[in-house]
Amino acid sequence: MDRLFSLPDIWESVTIAINRDCNIFCDFCPVKTDKKTLSPDKVREVTQLFSQLNPRWTVRAKIQGGEPLLHWGLLRLIIAECHQPNIQLVITTNGLLLDKEKISFLSRFRKRIELVISIDGQKWDLRRHSPLLRKTRVLKQAGLRGYCAFNITITPDFQPETIELFKILKYDGWTDFRFYPAFYTAWTDKELMQLRRTFSEIASLTDSAQFAKLHYAFDKKWLRLYFSRLSQLTRIPLVCDNLFVDNSGEIFVSAAFLLKYFQRWKQKDFSLCNVYNPGWQQKLLSYKSNPDMLFEKITKLDEIYKKSVDKKVRNINCRLLQEYTCFSETIADSVYRKAQKSRHSRVSSFA
């Protein structure tokens, strides 16, 4: 793990699990579920702290579950009360519980919300696109097209359907997509070869898809790094390099502790503090001046991953990461070429 790129990011965004329960149970989902919820007051305190740490640029507070829409009243309070100008709430949902009333409410706060809809063949019937398209039509009518992204998980059984869905959403005017293979699940060699072809076809269709709000479009090195981190993938799949607030109030060095594989290690001196304890802000900030301690905790996560996850699953994850990395670099190079072409066109127009 590259310390240069990991430690600064810990203080630039935060992942908050307001709950862990879900309305569906995907076979490949590695999240440990339970019924606790985090209070809106504590979410507000966390976002206030992070907005003060980075007052000059936007801080991403990623609201996750489980399924956050299961606790709509709680989520409404969080959205209404987390109104610091430099905080962007990134709400990840499977979208099944979205309705006109919820979409109308979200649209009122669209300038400080990014809605991320997670799609795969176990959440949605990818052979029938009409239910999803009815939702996206309402999202567009509410003015959320520029504030909505799609996390599309490619599973072994639905690769052709995933490509078809991407084409339909693209044709419908959506541009912000993130694609991930289904980690922590069994893939055959044949399915892995098909995944390579699937990624290749998706990459060939990205002419008008932006695949993120790009900050490094004119620097190929940084652009590749950006795409590799965009997926929130480190050597431990689906793990991001920022602080994680659990639904119990515990704060950890990584969202790895959202996953079931890390549960038995939570009390092994990995918790930095608990938001329900007095003085938690001061205790958390004490780590800011002691990065070596944080880095030591982060590096131990690789050891836990190797101890907790079956070797066969780890080997498949490794192959999936390789395929994803090749896909990311292809996309990054394509964006870089387009950025260079755009730059030359602007220069020529002023000549």
- For 121-179, the pLDDT digits (tens) are 888 888 888 899 999 999 999 999 889 999 999 999 999 999 999 999 998 989 888 89
Query: How far is residue 64's CA from residue 78's CA, in Å, rounded to a whole number?
Result: 12
pLDDT attached to residue 341: 66
The pair of structure tokens assigned to 109 is 């706060």
3-state secondary structure of 303: helix
Examine residue 2 and state whether it is found in any structural domain, yes or no.
Answer: no
Of all helices (H) and strands (E), which one includes residue 177? strand 177-181
- For 219-273, the pLDDT digits (tens) are 555 555 555 554 444 578 888 778 999 999 999 988 899 999 998 888 777 899 9
- For 95-109, the pLDDT digits (tens) are 999 999 999 999 999
Examine residue 1 and state whether it is found in any structural domain, yes or no.
Answer: no
Number of independent structural domains in the chain:
1
Examine residue 256 and state whether it is found in any structural domain, yes or no.
Answer: yes
CATH number reported for the structural domain that contains residue 42 in this entry: 3.20.20.70
Q: Is 264 exposed, middle or buried (0-12, 13-18, 19+ CB in 10 A)?
A: exposed
Residues 6 or more apart whose Cβ sits within 8 Å of residue 225:
5, 216
- For 280-311, the pLDDT digits (tens) are 999 999 988 888 888 888 888 888 999 999 99
Of all helices (H) and strands (E), which one includes residue 23? none
pLDDT attached to residue 315: 92
pLDDT attached to residue 345: 54
Which residue has 């069994």 as its token pair? 186
**In contact, 80 and 313? CB cutoff 8 Å:** no
Examine residue 334 and state whether it is found in any structural domain, yes or no.
Answer: yes
| Confidence band, pLDDT 50/70/90 cuts, at residue 207 | low
**Domain housing 340:** 9-350
Q: For the whole model, what pTM was predicted? A: 0.86
